[in-house]
A and B are shown apart, each in its own frame.
Chain A
């Protein structure tokens, strides 16, 4: 790929900053998943304790 690296239109584009932001979004999914699993675990424990 020999594409140019010229900056975009006025308004600016910081490719590195955008990529860093998107990587943070992806890493946040790890914590979201862990949160959902923890919530489910609590639900299962409560259900077993209350209902058997």
Chain B
């Protein structure tokens, strides 16, 4: 009886540890699909069309960035008579109204300034104000929803629009690149993240036929598709872009990612800014996950969103903190219950981690060499210095078991067994502990005296664990039922495309 219980407990702990491998295997599968995108796509159904497009820009206090955005939109390679820009001014209190007024005068009939006298309800409400206006006019054949700070490459809209020639496609998104110049460490981490999360993951989603999210800063909808979802953006979630993406696909049309359409955006340059932005995104994802609970893994309910592959990719990201905590907890308990088993599982988990890390990092750098040249250090350090050292140990143990030991012995330092075991225990708890260190880095950044230590700490704990810590914070915030405040990401107009 006791033996059965022990066996069951060991099995449970083993499963907990190996749960840590689920997101790794899922990431490898997702990246493996990217190559397929070159062979399996809908390119034979696209056409060089230029639908009359209304560009909606929700704007609240965007005086610093809105003029440059409008100028770049007006200079796009797109028929002038087929393009109108609607700035939906959400009761701005800065110079946004006067800047928009100047642009409306400069581009008479092509730039329209719509003013809301009472604002602050969030982006979805602001967009709906504009949608009511543009959909009331038969002129509009497509709607491009963008952010006030984004800079479109001259050919971006044209490359997006060609997908609407396929009647199955309802919406198209572009490749958002981090465009801040000068870029600090956080901008570069985000720059690399966007290769993996957009250029890579969204190509895989194209292959699957199910898109997780049309980027809020660049989403082109056909009029028919928008009208099919009610002609408005759902206001019940903080992730209005994800919700719109899901609704578009639930209404029977495809959402497509166009990797060669480039849009530059200014992203947060601090942990605090990132935390605020991503907490909103992650809370939105919690809401979307719950809202579509009857669709996940139910292909009979929705052949796109209900697919096993898509559901697995979605939930491995969404539940990443759970997997990390599970693996660390399992390893730590096994350390005391059955050390040899814990060591074997630790090695296995980190071998899978090492292979995934090498595959994902190398392939990401190859997908977008231009961004890779600026962000390769952050790409290498994405999981954090400690994780990279564990990966190095997993790949080439003699570096540590012989090389480092000899160096220490040469310096007259003897590695005592107690120290070695403390090191092992540290490595066991690191998957979960890295999130705690990421949270500490955020707290340090808020403290004026120790702020300087915050960036190095992110390199040590990793940007990936920082994102996991934010996701974990989103669970807590949702469970506590905190108010859904729309907190705008501050933009300063430092995008240089």
* Chain A residues within CB distance 8 Å of chain B: 1-9, 11, 13, 15-16, 18-19, 22-23, 25-30, 32-37, 39-40, 43-44, 47, 51
Tell me, rounded to whole Å, the shortest Cβ–Cβ distance linking A31 to chain B: 8
Q: Are B43 and A33 in contact (CB under 8 A)?
A: no
Complex formed: what's the CA distance from A28 to B260 in Å?
Answer: 13
Interface membership of B9, Cβ < 8 A: no
Q: Are A4 and B162 in contact (CB under 8 A)?
A: no
Smallest CB-CB A-B distances: 5 pairs:
A15-B48, A3-B51, A33-B35, A27-B38, A26-B38
Residue A19 contacts which of B37, B162, B359 (CB distance < 8 angstroms)?
B162
Complex formed: what's the CA distance from A24 to B355 in Å?
Answer: 28
Tell me, rounded to whole Å, the shortest Cβ–Cβ distance linking A23 to chain B: 6
Q: A18-B159, A36-B366 are in contact. List 8 more A-B contacts (CB 8 A).
A: A1-B167, A2-B51, A9-B77, A9-B80, A22-B260, A23-B43, A26-B38, A30-B38
Tell me the residues in window 350-383 of chain B with beta carbons closer than 8 Å to chain A beta carbons.
Answer: 355, 358-359, 362-363, 366-367
Complex formed: what's the CA distance from A42 to B141 in Å?
Answer: 52
Q: Are B51 and A34 in contact (CB under 8 A)?
A: no
A–B pairs, 15, beta carbons within 8 Å? A1-B165, A2-B51, A3-B51, A3-B142, A3-B161, A3-B164, A8-B77, A25-B259, A32-B35, A32-B366, A33-B363, A35-B366, A36-B359, A37-B359, A47-B396
Q: Given A8-B77, A23-B43, A43-B358, do A3 and B37 touch, yes or no (CB 8 Å)?
A: no
Residue B155 contacts which of A18, A37, A40 (CB distance < 8 angstroms)?
A18
Q: Which residues of B contact A37 (CB under 8 A)?
A: 359
Tell me, rounded to whole Å, the shortest Cβ–Cβ distance linking B489 to chain A: 30
Q: Are B141 and A2 in contact (CB under 8 A)?
A: yes
Task: Return the chain A residue nearest B362 by Cβ.
Answer: A36
Task: Return the chain B residue nearest A23 by Cβ.
Answer: B43
Residue B359 contacts which of A9, A13, A26, A40 (CB distance < 8 angstroms)?
A40
- Chain B interface size band reads 35 or more
Q: Are A15 and B363 in contact (CB under 8 A)?
A: no
Residue B367 contacts which of A32, A34, A43 (CB distance < 8 angstroms)?
A32
Q: Are A4 and B50 in contact (CB under 8 A)?
A: yes
Q: Are B78 and A8 in contact (CB under 8 A)?
A: yes
Complex formed: what's the CA distance from A51 to B395 in Å?
Answer: 9
Task: Return the chain B residue nearest A9 by Cβ.
Answer: B77
Residue B46 contacts which of A6, A19, A26, A34 (CB distance < 8 angstroms)?
A19
Q: Are B260 and A3 in contact (CB under 8 A)?
A: no
